[in-house]
Amino acid sequence: MVSPSQSDLPSYLSQPALTQYNAWGEDGQDVTQQEERRRSNEAKVLVRRTRTKEYSLITKCIAEFLGDFTFVFIGTMQAYVPNKSNDDITHAALAHGFTIFIIVASLGHISGGHFNPAITWAVTAANRMPYWHLPFYFISQLLGGFCGALMSAAILSSSQLTGTYAGATLLSPNNAWWEGLLSEALATYFLCHTVLMTAVDTDSNVLAPLAIGLTLSIDIFSTGAITGASMNPARSLGPNIVGSIFINSKDLPSNFWNHHYIYWAGPLAGGTVAALIYRYFREN
């Protein structure tokens, strides 16, 4: 006796069975599974389009300017808080950490959310940004930092500005220059490493702003008493220039400019190390 072929069976017997929860498509696959795959593919395409959307260089520079303007303005303004406790490090760590979290979350998709020449250098050295973008980012960041410090000077009174040294980051008199240099280099390495591994190297960077903000706060908690934990030449240069312009020279500390170089050499060295380690991870 010959068994009937599948095509000889009535249509209601040749179709896959239906259940209470599932329906079957024309190819015999669960429609629910097909819909899930379709939605997953659409989500991946949307993420890819969002990640690859490219803004013009001028738009990126404007975003970097605005980010540094905000960061330095908040950083210098928080230095003056009347009747605050002696726990200045906590105050600075939270103010800077929350600020960088907000500006990276709001502007990071436009420019990459550097707001720091050391981070821009690290991203460039890691081959994640064209080298010819570097000077344009630097100029935008430094100009934004200067304007942010200038806005603080416009708001604070002369005595308030003098009392905070315009929010400048200064080397502690209890530490040698090389200790300050090493402190800035290590703190900036941690920051740049976090940026490269969370904001640059992953398809999903939703948590990058939080990770970067927390890293900045931790760095300030750990090294703020030594150098002020700048980790950012734009954060240090703007307030120093504004302080030199609006504060009487006799009211400025003797080391106001003497050790300013550590706020450039340290962060750039830390960014270089972070870029080299990132490239090693990526190649291996």
Q: Tell me the average confidence (pLDDT) per consecutive run of 10 residues in the chain, 284 residues long.
A: 50 48 50 69 56 84 98 94 68 95 96 97 96 97 98 95 94 96 98 95 83 97 95 97 95 93 98 97 91
212: which 2 tokens?
């970067």
CATH number of the domain within which 205 lies: 1.20.1080.10
pLDDT, position 43: 62
219 in a structural domain: yes
DSSP state of 143: H
Please report the pLDDT score of residue 201 as a whole number.
Answer: 78
Specify if 13 maps to a domain: no
Residue 32: inside a domain, yes or no?
yes
Is 225 found in the same domain as 120? yes
Rounded distance, CA 189 to CA 217, Å?
Answer: 14
Tokens matching residue 264: 């450039």
Q: Note the pLDDT of residue 88.
A: 80
Number of domains in the chain: 2
Residues 38 and 136 in one domain: no
Decide: pTM greater than 0.75.
yes
47 and 61 inside one domain: no
pLDDT attached to residue 5:
52
What is the pLDDT, as a whole number, of residue 135? 97
| pLDDT for position 202 | 72
- The domain containing residue 48 runs over which residues? 23-53
How many whole angstroms separate alpha carbon 114 and alpha carbon 104? 8
Under 8 Å CB-to-CB from 242, ≥6 apart: which residues?
146, 149, 150, 152, 153, 166
Q: Based on the domain organization, do 126 and 241 belong to the same domain?
A: yes
| pLDDT value for 31 | 58
Domain membership flag for residue 10: no
Q: DSSP class of residue 180?
A: H
Establish if 4 belongs to a structural domain. Answer: no
